[in-house]
Structure 1
Amino acid sequence: MLLEFIAIVAAGFALAGIALTLNLVVGKRLPGWIFPASAGVGMLAMAIWLEYSWLDRVTDGFPQEVEVVSTNRQRVWYRPWTFVVPQVNRLIAVDHRFERRNPALPDQVLTSVLLAGRWEPSRQFGVVVDCAGQRRADLVDQVVFGEDGALERARWLPLAADDPLLRAVCRG
């Protein structure tokens, strides 16, 4: 967050510097308001670019086996440009490196899910997806594995047939 603030301020100074240079080139004929206005435009443009490039900057750091299955697009009144192009502020990803299948329960897949949000700490947790039953169970404290590998005390949540998490985990 601090680095983004520094980048925004630097963009403001850069655009104001360009305006000052342009003013010297044209013989100091530009109006005085052009300098703070150009600094403001530079800062606003940098802030917008940082907001819209967040998803790409985050996912570029993911290993190849991590698949983004869902994003949340947001429109807010205090960012009117988001009504033209909604901004992505959260994502759900599946880390296929952690997928495991139990031969006794072939329709259930143990995997790892990553939740990331703009200005939020990322969270990663285990999930068991029942491909045949179209449901999922988060691996939280009370969940234990039985002798046969089945989940005990799990709270199963139903998933729609076209749920992106279900499709990503169960397609293989």
Structure 2
Amino acid sequence: MLFELIAAVVAGVAVAGLAMGMRWLSRGLLPKWIVPAAAGLGMLSYAIWSEYSWFTRLTETQPEGVVVAWHNEESSFWRPWSYYKPVVTRFTAVDMRSVQRHPNLPDQVMVDVILAARWQRAARVKVVFDCAGGRRADLVGANVSVADDGSIVGATWTALPADDPVLAVACKQS
């Protein structure tokens, strides 16, 4: 977040410098207020660009095999431009390279799910999806384990809607 602030200030100074140059070239015909207005416009433009591009910048750097299953778009009054085009604030991805199936339970798949949100560190969670039963179990906590027969012990299963996008990606046969 500190780098974003520094980048916004640098953008403001750069655009203000251009405005100062234009004012000098016009021999003072442009009004004085154009310099701080240009600085503000430069910082605002950078902030808007950064908000809209973070999702693309982050997903493009993911390794092959990481599939974005879901993303959340949001509009808010402090970002009035987001009513025209909502901003992606968080997403869920499935690391298909981590797919594991137990031969005794072929309808269940264990994968790493990546939870990412703007201004937060991404979290990686091991999750087991029951593709036939339409449910999932998060493998978090000290009491959760996988038994020798492949069954999950100590986890709470959560029912998912049939159209859940993360379930669809995780259960997709490769």
Which TM-score band applies after superposition, normalised by the shorter structure? over 0.9
1:55 aligns with 2:19: no
Counterpart residue identity of residue 96, structure 1: M
Deviations 1:84-120 (A, max 9, x none): 1111111101011111011100000000001111111
1:154 aligns with 2:148: no
The alpha-carbon deviation at position 147 of structure 1 amounts to 2.6
More deviation, 125-134/69-78: 69-78
Paired residue secondary structure (1:99): strand
1:170 corresponding residue in structure 2? 171
* TM-score calculated relative to the size of structure 2: 0.96
1:97 corresponding residue in structure 2? 97
Q: Distance in 2 between matches of 1:79 and 1:104?
A: 51
Counterpart residue identity of residue 62, structure 2: F
Counterpart residue identity of residue 91, structure 2: L
Q: Distance in 2 between matches of 1:87 and 1:161?
A: 27
**Count of residue correspondences:** 172
More deviation, 2-11/130-139: 2-11
More deviation, 144-153/72-81: 144-153
Paired residue secondary structure (1:69): strand
Q: Distance in 1 between matches of 2:167 and 2:121?
A: 24
Q: Distance in 1 between matches of 2:75 and 2:8?
A: 22
More deviation, 35-44/23-32: 23-32
Paired residue secondary structure (2:120): coil
The alpha-carbon deviation at position 152 of structure 1 amounts to 1.6
2:10 corresponding residue in structure 1? 10
More deviation, 102-111/139-148: 139-148
Q: Distance in 2 between matches of 1:99 and 1:147?
A: 18
Paired residue secondary structure (2:76): coil
Q: Distance in 2 between matches of 1:147 and 1:67?
A: 29
Give the root-mean-square deviation of aligned CA atoms: 0.9
1:145 corresponding residue in structure 2? 146
Q: What residue ranges of structure 1 are gaps of 5+ in the alignment? A: none
More deviation, 98-107/21-30: 21-30
Q: Distance in 2 between matches of 1:8 and 1:154?
A: 45
* TM-score calculated relative to the size of structure 1: 0.97
The alpha-carbon deviation at position 21 of structure 1 amounts to 1.0
1:126 corresponding residue in structure 2? 126
The alpha-carbon deviation at position 26 of structure 1 amounts to 1.6
> Which runs of at least 4 in structure 1 moved beyond 6 Å after TM superposition?
none
